[in-house]
Amino acid sequence: MGRWVWGAIRRSLRPSGLVLVYDPGYAVRVGTSPIDPLRAEMVLAFLVDQGLVRRRDMARPLAASLRNIRRVHTDRYLESLERREVLEQIVGTPLTDAEAEGLVQSQRLAAGGTVLASAIAARTGQVAVNLGGGFHHAASNRGMGFCALNDIGIAIARLRARGFSAPILVVDLDIHDGNGTRLLFEEDPSVHTFTIHNQDWSPSEAASATVMPLGTAVSDATYLTALRTALPEVMGRIRPGFVIYVAGADPATDDMLGDWNITAAGMLARDQFVVEQVRRKGAEIPLTIVLGGGYGGNAWRYTARFLGWLALGRVVEPPTNAEMLLRRAEELHRLLREGARRLPPASDWAFTPEDVAAFMPGAAAPRRLLGRYTSQGIELLLERLGVLGQVRALGFSLPTLELDFHLPDSDCVRLYGDAAKTELLMEVRFRRDQSRLPGMEVLYLEWLLLQNPRREFSRGQQSIPGQKHPGLGLLRDVTAWLVVLCGELGLDGLMYVPAGYFVATFGSRFIDPVRQAQLEAMRRALAGLRLVEASRAVEERRVVDAATGATVPWEPAPMVIPVSPRLRERVEGPEYEAALEAALSSLSYRLRLPSETNADA
Ligand SMILES: [Zn+2]
């Protein structure tokens, strides 16, 4: 984990305090669903207002890395999340493209929150609350019921990857069945999923699970009796070393989706019972709490009451919605005013204009890279191709992508080695192009930079013009990525205009066979030289025509790496080969001898 994140954790810890994890990016509107995008904000505003937490005591997560997400979800499923209709099925309501993309991003961020909260709880033995998450219906190869990414499973898988081996208990008291989590750990007896809900969503043959469907119209007495009977027995049997509590607020009587009659007192008694079981004196088990479901404008009040009690040890009644909205607006306004003057660059908690814009309805639909990819789509591809793994192996532990749509004609992707985006590793500018090859469409590569910013050129080491740092050693992998993009987009191939000899040597062909013949004649003349030396010889115009002694200059012309059969035919077919052979037979180059003068000079 990066320095920045651990710094945030350290700063957020207070003796016996409650650790809260949150990011404004959790807030999301989902079509016409009764999800209150301000739920967590209201809880937070209440806790801040009561003096129970200070904004600077909070930890702000990074979006869960695909490395962690892929520990529980399949690539095929993650790819399918690029499609709006898949997300519409998951939430059961029509979505705009912007909403679909926002949904995945917000759940990924919230999953990062559950990962971070679990890391804090495991490390400190404290109670850490993620003011989001609880997407318990998502299984490895499908999402459902508003849940695209199972943050609980992702956090558990990451704890396991970090060597945490004690039994883990998930106490899921959302009114809906935590079936996705149960399926994820169906064959893992070391993770027990305990869920009390209205009805089962999936059958269970899990190795270690408690599944208690209570039906409809459940009252406080039935609910609390079930919990007080079953949970202590499971705790005693499992002896968990870590607990994740999904404190869904949707069993509450006024919930807009739930069909139970649990009172505010019943909800609080439930939450208190779970915490008292887990945090019993002398056996304080690390506890992570995630919000889970809770629908309509009152859902936040149950969570606020619970967390207020957790932080303070006594119950404080949250104010009315109207009053709280006003306080929240004042707080936001104050932060924005301060923010305009001074916001520390890596603040744990800072509203930016983008954060605020995210709350505004009608934000413009996000653009997609090459008309197809979200940032996550591109990142998934780089992760699958092993590029990000190699970047991590080079010591850049938090590779971070940035898509830039500010250029008029092309899209730009930057890859940084760090979350703060100070270490630029790769910059690619490209576009889809139909103008350069009649009847075909290519991925036109305008610019490609690959560098290792932590290394400097050593004395005498030759650098390529314009490059400040030595390369990353990933050209081949990045080229492979570009070729894969062509394939996925149905493009004919990758095209670029090499600025110099060395760029023309990584396995592609000039469209013009005569130009290709010149390159091959050059290659013969430069045989025996190292690539850097050969490249320098061309740059210094030391390659001459063997017959006339005239300098052979480097002339930029378009090259392609063909992907489609028709472009392959175009630059590798018999017609091209014949033209190439013919041109080559009349060409012979050699290196100018030191004694010869430069004919151009
Ligand atoms: Zn629910």
Per residue in 550-560, pLDDT (tens digit) is 999 888 899 99
State both tokens at 498. 């090499």
Compute, in angstroms, the gap from residue 294 CA to the centroid of ligand 1.
7
Compute, in angstroms, the gap from residue 80 CA to the centroid of ligand 1.
24
Contact 315, 323 (CB under 8 A): no
- Of 187-191, 356-360, 485-489, 546-550, the range with the lowest mean pLDDT is 356-360
Compute, in angstroms, the gap from residue 502 CA to the centroid of ligand 1.
59
Residue 506, pLDDT above cutoff 70: no
H/E element, 445: strand 442-450
Compute, in angstroms, the gap from residue 570 CA to the centroid of ligand 1.
57
Compute, in angstroms, the gap from residue 243 CA to the centroid of ligand 1.
19
Compute, in angstroms, the gap from residue 194 CA to the centroid of ligand 1.
15
Compute, in angstroms, the gap from residue 428 CA to the centroid of ligand 1.
43
- Of 103-117, 184-198, 388-402, the range with the lowest mean pLDDT is 388-402
Compute, in angstroms, the gap from residue 364 CA to the centroid of ligand 1.
30
- C-alpha dist (Å) from residue 180 to 133, 183, 334, 579: 13, 5, 41, 61
The mean per-residue pLDDT over the stretch 73-85 comes to 96
Residue 338, pLDDT above cutoff 60: no
pLDDT of 463 reads 58
Q: Which residue has the higher pLDDT, 433 or 385?
A: 433
List the one residue out of 279, 294, 290 whose CA is nearest residue 37.
294
Q: What is the DSSP string of 409-431?
A: S-EEEEEESSTTS-SEEEEEEEE
pLDDT of 440 reads 95
The mean per-residue pLDDT over the stretch 161-178 comes to 97
Residue 231, pLDDT above cutoff 50: yes
Q: Among 335-339, 357-361, 479-483, 504-508, which range has the highest average pLDDT? A: 479-483
Compute, in angstroms, the gap from residue 197 CA to the centroid of ligand 1.
9
Compute, in angstroms, the gap from residue 262 CA to the centroid of ligand 1.
14
**Model confidence band, residue 15 (pLDDT cutoffs 50, 70, 90):** very low
Compute, in angstroms, the gap from residue 175 CA to the centroid of ligand 1.
5
The mean per-residue pLDDT over the stretch 475-479 comes to 81
- C-alpha dist (Å) from residue 173 to 37, 247, 251: 21, 6, 8
Compute, in angstroms, the gap from residue 249 CA to the centroid of ligand 1.
8
Number of residues that this document lists for the chain: 601
The mean per-residue pLDDT over the stretch 575-590 comes to 94
pLDDT of 194 reads 98
Residue 100, pLDDT above cutoff 80: yes
Residue 361, pLDDT above cutoff 60: no
The mean per-residue pLDDT over the stretch 238-250 comes to 97
Query: What tens digit of pLDDT does each residue of 288-320 get?
Result: 999 999 998 899 999 999 999 998 888 999 987
Residue 145, pLDDT above cutoff 90: yes
**Model confidence band, residue 8 (pLDDT cutoffs 50, 70, 90):** very low
List the one residue out of 125, 104, 130, 124 whose CA is nearest residue 44.
130
Compute, in angstroms, the gap from residue 137 CA to the centroid of ligand 1.
9
- Taking each continuous run of H as one helix and of E as one strand, the counts in the chain are 20, 16
Compute, in angstroms, the gap from residue 295 CA to the centroid of ligand 1.
8
In 316-442, which residue ranges form alpha helices assigned H by DSSP?
Answer: 321-341, 353-359, 375-384, 387-393
Q: Which residues pair with 445 in a beta bridge?
A: 430, 496
**Model confidence band, residue 7 (pLDDT cutoffs 50, 70, 90):** very low
Residue 27, pLDDT above cutoff 60: yes
Compute, in angstroms, the gap from residue 146 CA to the centroid of ligand 1.
9
pLDDT above 70 as % of the chain: 86
Q: What is the mean pLDDT of the chain?
A: 85
pLDDT of 375 reads 86
Residue 464, pLDDT above cutoff 70: no
Compute, in angstroms, the gap from residue 177 CA to the centroid of ligand 1.
8
**Model confidence band, residue 57 (pLDDT cutoffs 50, 70, 90):** low
**Model confidence band, residue 536 (pLDDT cutoffs 50, 70, 90):** confident
Compute, in angstroms, the gap from residue 227 CA to the centroid of ligand 1.
17
Compute, in angstroms, the gap from residue 172 CA to the centroid of ligand 1.
10
The DSSP call for residue 24 is: G
Compute, in angstroms, the gap from residue 349 CA to the centroid of ligand 1.
29
**Model confidence band, residue 406 (pLDDT cutoffs 50, 70, 90):** confident
SS in 3 state form for 39-84?
HHHHHHHHHHHCCCCCHHHCECCCCCCHHHHCCCCCHHHHHHCCCH
Compute, in angstroms, the gap from residue 174 CA to the centroid of ligand 1.
5
pLDDT of 363 reads 41
Compute, in angstroms, the gap from residue 173 CA to the centroid of ligand 1.
9
- The Cα–Cα gap between 561 and 579 comes to 19
H/E element, 560: strand 559-562
pLDDT of 296 reads 87
- The Cα–Cα gap between 308 and 117 comes to 18
pLDDT of 465 reads 56
The mean per-residue pLDDT over the stretch 212-232 comes to 97
Rg (CA), the chain: 30
List the one residue out of 476, 431, 426 whose CA is nearest residue 453.
426
The mean per-residue pLDDT over the stretch 140-162 comes to 97
Q: Which residues pair with 384 in a beta bridge?
A: none
Compute, in angstroms, the gap from residue 9 CA to the centroid of ligand 1.
29
The pTM of the full predicted model, rounded to 2 decimals, is: 0.70
The mean per-residue pLDDT over the stretch 405-434 comes to 91
pLDDT of 543 reads 94
Cβ-proximal residues to 126 (8 Å cutoff; 6+ apart), any chain: 13, 16, 17, 18, 19, 120, 286, 287
Count CA atoms within 13 Å of residue 391 on its CB side: 30
The mean per-residue pLDDT over the stretch 576-584 comes to 95
- Of 362-371, 526-535, 560-569, the range with the lowest mean pLDDT is 362-371
List the one residue out of 401, 402, 400, 475 whose CA is nearest residue 445.
475
Compute, in angstroms, the gap from residue 136 CA to the centroid of ligand 1.
9
Q: Which residue has the higher pLDDT, 34 or 299?
A: 299
**Model confidence band, residue 356 (pLDDT cutoffs 50, 70, 90):** very low
Compute, in angstroms, the gap from residue 176 CA to the centroid of ligand 1.
4
Compute, in angstroms, the gap from residue 124 CA to the centroid of ligand 1.
29
* Coil vs helix vs strand at 510: strand
- The Cα–Cα gap between 84 and 90 comes to 10
The mean per-residue pLDDT over the stretch 264-284 comes to 94
